[in-house]
Structure 1
């Protein structure tokens, strides 16, 4: 089984089709008329781990260097706990109004609509789609940097570590965009569901390569400096800059802990006995705990390997130079992962606009209908005028933004800071309070409100710190420069 993006832009399990289309008997149906779900504790835990572990791991060593041992470890543990706790609240909102026998909510927005309704749904949609757009832009930046790093690593290996070996980053953004334009023309992402599986394998691969290289560097007794408070204030770093970098690091950590958008969809793969919410809570504990241990290993070993001089991206920042071929493999894995990951995040945006345009201009069939063309060697292929134009324009726009703001840590931190509170904390908390009818000013109500308020402050601070980083980087950045 695999998670896919359906035609309506929602993530669903590949095997879920209406039972009537499959000719299934009543005994093979769930209570909603769909084929019986077969997901288990193991599969759900695997989905969570796959959804969480990604490119966010690349910046954890840098984040530790900004925060230091005390705050850095505390932040990692705190984000882990909040992510797990809010996921348990969200798990109870899969069914409404009763978490065990209520009607199923198939998507995140559907759960918000059922439990909160009104303007909350529009706010959720706005934040959700803005986050999806932000992620696709950050993927374009990260992929281009990794492409350039492959060529730079060979240059360093051949010519020495003191040679500039600069590469024009914009060229690689264009290569990435050209590839995504082609992939984006596939009508539904489930046609290439294997790409999402390959992307998951790649994310584990480059994370393990980075972890292994860090351990090898530590074993080599590298002379690095770490501290309880991270990068020290001094001639090269003012107190104000230190604070901004710490806030930016919060955003980078936040971006590494987020799977709220797909939690409901993962829960929709679970069989109903035992109840889905109970299985999902156990899966969340296993998945988040496993991810946290992995992140702690990467962040701690990366900080021990590089110290306060940790690069923003520990595979492209060239704290490692040899073996160059292993570094190249790690960066190639990043490229493959994000080529597929870009499609996972942009498909819901594509479908939203295309569904709206189909409704708005349904009478103009030439623009909204699929047309079949014959291509030599490839056979018959379908294309849609709206899809070709809109998806191509979207990819070009994200590429232009990536070329304008090619700053990995600042952009990742900004996206993480903006999205963490509303998607991971606020909506799950408010849905749970509404569905469970938590009494105002009760102990549970006060705790949830305080947690949400604290997370709001942290998210705003992280977003502001990352925005300041973007502004600072732009002052020194010249478009079309070498990377």
Structure 2
């Protein structure tokens, strides 16, 4: 839509006006501070929930080093990415409105297709992960009331499948809303509630430390014992690396904002003077630094509160303690956040299939025609496809309801291609860095090192999923 509008504006000669930029798009007025807010808002999402568990696997030293190291690598590659917003020149070149456009401009059509596969694959995986996370938080609310009523010694176990089904029904209904991703209050609401549940978690951790003291922690994390072998320790450690990678995958910011507005609004909000790449570099440094401090607080305080028994989702661990209403509020915030985030991240998948179908079968009325039902516009393709997608994601979540292993696999599969490989390769191409030069070599070494870490984390996260499935009865998930 925007490309079409820009073309018509350019053809009518409405360039360099007070309302439009030199490429025909609406003039931008945002500043680096506005972009920083977007970054922080998008980074602090569901990835923060598993950081206390990661510290329990890695220990104090490795946990802190891992968080800082991923932060530095993510920041470096994000800075490279800011120079690829315009091509071929980072200041005066043509604007690339999406991440995939930047890949296509700098690396060609083959890499563009690879990027598309990676992005859509990640978005599909996140949909499954969000279904699992929401069910766990819903179950935690019910459990906290049970503990409050029957005491902390009660079992209060809750089946997660019913909550997954409830979540799926809501998503099926909401997914039929046209242009859901363009509802402007979404980003504001998401920012408020993500900060809310994170701050509640930090506050509850501090309160638990004050009341019960620091939990049983160690330099190396969960110790090896009879029922926890060295091999178990190894795969838990690498799975934790995948979880941290998921939390630090800066590409999710770009994808999320692209999904909301169908353009890289994180860049497009920035006015053209001073140059966008300079503003974006400042926003990236501030945004990732602030997020890292926040992540360290959640990870360190969560680990100190629970020790080596830190739960996979640290907010569900407070269901055993008062004030139960505050625990409920935090988990309600997570549920609300993920209800909207699921749709925001699913919209590009929905749009890709629907747009491709309309291009291939433009005369098919089942695909193109809309009819009104009780004042709501219904399209058969949209109804059948989106409903089927939600049902498929829910079934997979019921079969593999393992939060940390799944998040680890997502992070491992996402971090290298979207946060390391493409930014480095695009920068090398655009900056015309000579092959086998010193800069080219150390960038390739960095990329290779991140690839190895991602592969190892993916292998061990997959091993964790397989091991869990072997002792798990499908569709019998219990919190």
Does the pair score TM above 0.5?
yes
Residue in structure 2 matched with residue 146 of structure 1 by the alignment? 137
Q: Is the 8 A contact 2:319 2:327 kept in 1?
A: no
Which of 76, 100, 109 is equivalent to 1:109?
A: 100
2:423 is the alignment partner of 1:428: yes
In structure 2, what is the Cα distance between the partners aligned to 1:95 and 1:261?
20
What do residues 261-304 of structure 1 show as CA deviations (whole Å, max 9, x unaligned)? 54444112210111000000000000000000000011000111
2:282 is the alignment partner of 1:291: no
2:397 is the alignment partner of 1:402: yes
Residue in structure 2 matched with residue 174 of structure 1 by the alignment? 165
Residue in structure 2 matched with residue 473 of structure 1 by the alignment? 468
Cα gap change, 1:267/1:364 in structure 2, threshold over 3 Å: closer, same or farther? same
Which of 32, 35, 44 is equivalent to 1:41?
A: 32
What are the within-5 Å matches in structure 2 for residues 189-208 of structure 1?
A: 189-208=180-199
Residue in structure 2 matched with residue 412 of structure 1 by the alignment? 407
C-alpha displacement of 1:381? 2.2
C-alpha displacement of 1:320? 4.8
Cα gap change, 1:333/1:16 in structure 2, threshold over 3 Å: closer, same or farther? farther
What are the within-5 Å matches in structure 2 for residues 284-323 of structure 1?
A: 284-318=284-318, 320-323=320-323
Residue in structure 1 matched with residue 75 of structure 2 by the alignment? 84
What do residues 420-452 of structure 1 show as CA deviations (whole Å, max 9, x unaligned)? 000000000000000000111222111211110
What do residues 53-74 of structure 1 show as CA deviations (whole Å, max 9, x unaligned)? 1111110000001001111111
Q: Which stretch of structure 1 is more off in the superposition, 118-127 or 241-250?
A: 118-127
Which of 86, 98, 101 is equivalent to 1:95?
A: 86
In structure 2, what is the Cα distance between the partners aligned to 1:423 and 1:223?
38
Residue in structure 2 matched with residue 383 of structure 1 by the alignment? 378
Q: Is the 8 A contact 2:6 2:23 kept in 1?
A: no
Residue in structure 1 matched with residue 259 of structure 2 by the alignment? none
Residue in structure 2 matched with residue 356 of structure 1 by the alignment? 356
State the secondary structure of the residue aligned to 1:480: coil
C-alpha displacement of 1:27? 2.6
Residue in structure 2 matched with residue 461 of structure 1 by the alignment? 456
Q: Is the 8 A contact 2:36 2:286 kept in 1?
A: yes
Residue in structure 1 matched with residue 261 of structure 2 by the alignment? none
In structure 1, what is the Cα distance between the partners aligned to 2:223 and 2:471?
23
Residue in structure 2 matched with residue 61 of structure 1 by the alignment? 52
In structure 1, what is the Cα distance between the partners aligned to 2:125 and 2:454?
15
2:221 is the alignment partner of 1:250: no
Residue in structure 1 matched with residue 334 of structure 2 by the alignment? 334
In structure 2, what is the Cα distance between the partners aligned to 1:65 and 1:327?
21
In structure 1, what is the Cα distance between the partners aligned to 2:431 and 2:30?
26
Residue in structure 1 matched with residue 260 of structure 2 by the alignment? none
Residue in structure 2 matched with residue 12 of structure 1 by the alignment? none
Residue in structure 2 matched with residue 135 of structure 1 by the alignment? 126
2:439 is the alignment partner of 1:448: no
Q: Which stretch of structure 1 is more off in the superposition, 244-253 or 438-447?
A: 438-447
State the secondary structure of the residue aligned to 1:383: strand
Q: Matched residue pairs, number?
A: 466
C-alpha displacement of 1:466? 1.0
In structure 2, what is the Cα distance between the partners aligned to 1:265 and 1:465?
36
Cα gap change, 1:106/1:7 in structure 2, threshold over 3 Å: closer, same or farther? closer
State the secondary structure of the residue aligned to 2:317: coil
Q: Which stretch of structure 1 is more off in the superposition, 27-36 or 190-199?
A: 190-199
**TM-score by structure 2 length?**
0.94
C-alpha displacement of 1:318? 4.0
In structure 1, what is the Cα distance between the partners aligned to 2:367 and 2:278?
46
Cα gap change, 1:7/1:133 in structure 2, threshold over 3 Å: closer, same or farther? farther
Gap regions ≥5 residues in structure 1: 1-5, 9-14
Name the Cα RMSD after superposition: 2.0
Residue in structure 2 matched with residue 11 of structure 1 by the alignment? none
Residue in structure 2 matched with residue 367 of structure 1 by the alignment? 367
Q: Is the 8 A contact 2:16 2:22 kept in 1?
A: no
C-alpha displacement of 1:227? 1.1
**TM-score by structure 1 length?**
0.93
